[in-house]
Amino acid sequence: MKLVLVCAILLCSTSVFASAQNIQIQAQPQTVVFLKNDLVIVCSITNPTQLSSVFFIQILKNSSTTFDNVVSVTTGQALPVQWKDTVLQNRASVTGNIDSPRTAQLRLTIDKNSVQCPTDFKMYSCKMSGMSTASNPVTEETSPITIFYIVQPTIIELPRVRILNEIYDTPKRQFPVGTTIQLTCHGEIGNDVSKTIRWCARKDGEFSFTGLVQTPIHSKASPSGCQYTRSSVITYNLTSEDIFTEFLCESGDTGMCGTGTAIQYVNISSTSAQNIQIQALPQTIIYRETDLVIICSITNPSQLSSVFFIELLKNSSTTFETVVEVSTGQTPLVQWRDTTLQNRASATGNIDSPSNAQLRLTIDKNSVLCHADFKMYKCKMAGFSSTALEVVTQETSSIALYQIVKPTVIETPRVRILNEIYDTPKRHFPAGTTIQLTCQGEVGNDASKTIRWCAQKAGRNIFTGLSHSPNHSKATPLGCQYTRSSTITYSLTKEDIFTKILCESGVIGMCGTGTAIQYVNITIASAQNIQIQALPQTVNYRKNDLVIVCSITNPSQLNAVYYIQLQRNSSTTFETVVSVATGQTPPVQWTDTQLQGRATATGNVDSPSSAQLRLTIDKNSVICPTDFKMYMCKMTSYSNVVSDGITQETSPIELSYVETPTVIEMPRLRILNENFDTPNRQFPVGTMIQLTCRGEVGNDASKTIRWCTQKTNEMMFTELAQTPIHSEASLSGCQYTRSSTITYTLTKEDTFTQFLCESGDTGLCGTGTAIQYVNITIEKTGTTNTCTADANSSFLVPFFIGIAVGIGVLILAIFIAIILRRHLLQQQMKRTVCQEQNGEEHYTKPVPKEDQPYTELNTYTELHTTNRQLETDQACSTPDHPYTTLNAMQMTQTTSLPR
């Protein structure tokens, strides 16, 4: 019976092989964003189990009417990879092998900076030759695929101005009311010949640009490399409302005026001669990608004999306040008024002569704050007019700076069966099941933007937009941009054998081009047999090992497992990290050799019930954020349910991490409204001081730095009631850093007040993982003591305590030594007296001489000595007698008296 079954399976396999396609071609991606994506073409074997060997694999490219061989990998060559297109060889790379059908592959990569347009954007196909497992020669060629591309315009010229019916352009930008002018703009429009140049305008007092109602005249598009260029001319009649009107021309626009990828401005006025102008370069800033630059400059230097000052002002609620200025008679020439902005910006300027007088403010892209810096600005100047022979003071109309914030964060789609209450972790459902998919994430700083849904079914090369209408939640502001959720209802059909669904925001064209994107895989075919687990999914950095396990969920439905792969997300694709497969020695094979140096992998595919692949990165070898990516598992096996080989992959999971802050600087101190920090730590009562602390706050950008104090006679620190000013969090490695400034008024109670700043706090003040201190005192009345208590005293206190303890221990040791020495001496004297007693060397009564004076004294001494002699005898016979040593000493002293 078993023999019959095996034969049946073999016959079935032979029948499938006859019509099977063994070679496939893939472009990664199929639509290339020019100068942003590498061009990658991969030829690979789709049915390696049906081939016993592969002789060659070729990549062919369409050249006019034929397909020419570009590169191949062939058996029997000294160098397996053989180039035919030697011109392309100089700017491309190729890898490949045909060691076995399972690993046979040919990959062509052209670096994004070497891609040539339109040369490389042709039709490609793959060709292979080999031997089937039935010993039949096989030669197959894929259907050709076309590589598409997107080119965004980046260059457009400044608008040129001409008075209507005149022959030449004019450099003037100020005209009488009623003048009709023509504005001309020439630039790139992208690789779509139908695109044009758009005109917008903003008049004085208006906050945003609006499209001009006048109809422009567009020239015919001309090809230039990978894209087209054209010019656009618009006619405009100046009115009394054009006191200060700003025009823009742009291409590559994605919505509102000012959102183009190529944009230029020109300012037109109809008032009296304006000598000062303001420019923002650019006026619409891509947040975190573009520096913010504002320039105040002189427009008519010939009308001025000198310039006294130039100021840059920024709107603050209802008034404009000076940010920075350049003025005569100042040292230095450039003077800051906004000292907070001074810490993260730079300013240059001079007023040496009207022709080169200028003031330039630059805020580095990494220091730009949203929304603080995106306000209205204007310039102001004073000088002496060479025409009116008087002092003139002028200011520009205000301009508003705009920003574009690209969304970068979006969650993995959540799945719920229609009409159920809770989300489900399942990704495999019967055909006909209706599911709801929900995705929440950032949509940028335009509240009208939404989240898009696309799908890619099995056998399809690209994603296409879903025709279902999603339900979008209301946009909610969060920091610099908006977030919203989107829910779509999808009914599974028999075509959804393996359907990959994506949600994305920040879309600029085709599906899959969003700046924030996530995927989920849905199947209705045989049960999902592979799962991925992270242990744990949220890793405590430097405290937990990172462990990922690929395992079989339904081993009873499989006859055999051929391989298991662990893949990791790399930019827009998933690349294999490590795999375990049959027929390999050793079974576990590393693809990511860099990770191999700091990780271990174990696995086997001996049987479906034990098949597993486990990756472990030791906690001391985990690299952040490199290792915290999206991972998924992929496997190929033979199913006993459908009697065929199946390939399945899990939905990706994202590993997250927690990192606690450990580094924070000593608090810096500044008297309120002063420009520089002070080393003093003692001040008069009533002084207002600012304390600033900068340090790590962990991997959560919302965390801040906490301030606490402890005054004299207080037992513990308490949190300050004052509200600190926190800077925007900046990513540094795996965690964020920020600064915090608090203003504090010293009172008579601050005789000795200790301040602390801390982050990573877990409850009470002083429980942070990063903490620093500074001590502040008030000056005593009637003294000129200028001693200061520096923050370093917090380090000296343990030092002095250590010295005091050491001195105490030393004194105690000396005291004990003296007692011991005295005790030893007393014991020695005791033994001496007793020995003399035992040796019959007793005191002998002296015989008085007649001529000896002091007879009474001698008589007393004699009597006293006899008594002491008796006491000594008693002490020697009783070693524990309390007075033994003392009596012996007294006796010795007495017997030593001169007679």
Question: What pLDDT, in 10s, does the model give residues 394-421?
Answer: 888 888 888 889 999 999 999 999 999 9
Six-digit token pair at 694? Answer: 């900068």
Question: In terms of C-beta density within 10 A (0-12 exposed, 13-18 middle, 19 or more buried), how is residue 819 classed?
Answer: exposed
Does residue 576 carry a pLDDT above 90? yes
| Residues in Cβ contact with 791 at an 8 Å cutoff, skipping those fewer than 6 apart | 666, 667, 681, 772, 773, 774, 775
Query: Residue 360: pLDDT band by 50, 70, 90 thresholds?
Result: very high
pLDDT at 443: 93
pLDDT at 134: 83
Does residue 878 carry a pLDDT above 60? no
Q: Residue range 165-176: average pLDDT?
A: 86
Does residue 726 carry a pLDDT above 70? yes
Roughly what angle, to the nearest 10 degrees, separates helices 884-895 and 793-838? 70
Low-confidence winner among 35-39, 110-114, 686-690, 825-829 (lowest mean pLDDT):
825-829
pLDDT at 805: 66
More confident residue, 714 or 17: 714
pLDDT at 863: 40
pLDDT at 837: 46
pLDDT at 10: 33
Low-confidence winner among 446-450, 617-621, 713-717, 809-813 (lowest mean pLDDT):
809-813
Does residue 861 carry a pLDDT above 50? no
What is the rounded distance in angstroms from the CA atom of residue 548 to the CA atom of residue 577? 12
Instruction: Write out pLDDT tens, residues 90-107.
Output: 999 999 999 889 999 999
Q: How many other C-beta atoms lie within 10 A of the C-beta of residue 353?
A: 13
Cα dihedral sign, 566-569-575-577: negative
Does residue 254 carry a pLDDT above 80? no
Instruction: Please say whether the beta carbons of 422 and 433 come within 8 A.
Output: no
What is the rounded distance in angstroms from the CA atom of residue 541 to the CA atom of residue 76? 50
Low-confidence winner among 103-117, 159-173, 256-270, 780-794 (lowest mean pLDDT):
780-794
Query: Residue 827: pLDDT band by 50, 70, 90 thresholds?
Result: low
Query: Residue 882: pLDDT band by 50, 70, 90 thresholds?
Result: very low
What is the rounded distance in angstroms from the CA atom of residue 257 to the CA atom of residue 887? 114
Does residue 474 carry a pLDDT above 50? yes
What is the rounded distance in angstroms from the CA atom of residue 172 to the CA atom of residue 190? 31
Low-confidence winner among 184-193, 437-446, 865-874 (lowest mean pLDDT):
865-874
Instruction: Please say whether the beta carbons of 526 and 641 come within 8 A.
Output: yes
pLDDT at 823: 66
Query: Residue 642: pLDDT band by 50, 70, 90 thresholds?
Result: low
- Look over the chain and give the mean of its residue pLDDT values, rounded to a whole number: 83
Six-digit token pair at 751? Answer: 């005789």
Instruction: Write out pLDDT tens, residues 841-857.
Output: 443 444 444 344 433 43
pLDDT at 831: 53
pLDDT at 16: 27
Low-confidence winner among 395-404, 599-608, 874-883 (lowest mean pLDDT):
874-883
Residue owning tokens 């994202």: 654
Does residue 894 carry a pLDDT above 70? no
What is the rounded distance in angstroms from the CA atom of residue 72 to the CA atom of residue 68? 11
Percent of the chain scoring above 90 in pLDDT: 46
More confident residue, 788 or 79: 79
| Residues in Cβ contact with 858 at an 8 Å cutoff, skipping those fewer than 6 apart | 846, 848, 852, 899
pLDDT at 131: 87
Does residue 173 carry a pLDDT above 80? yes
Instruction: Write out pLDDT tens, residues 50-66.
Output: 898 898 999 999 887 78
Q: Residue range 207-231: average pLDDT?
A: 90
Q: Residue range 62-88: average pLDDT?
A: 86
Six-digit token pair at 120? Answer: 């490389």
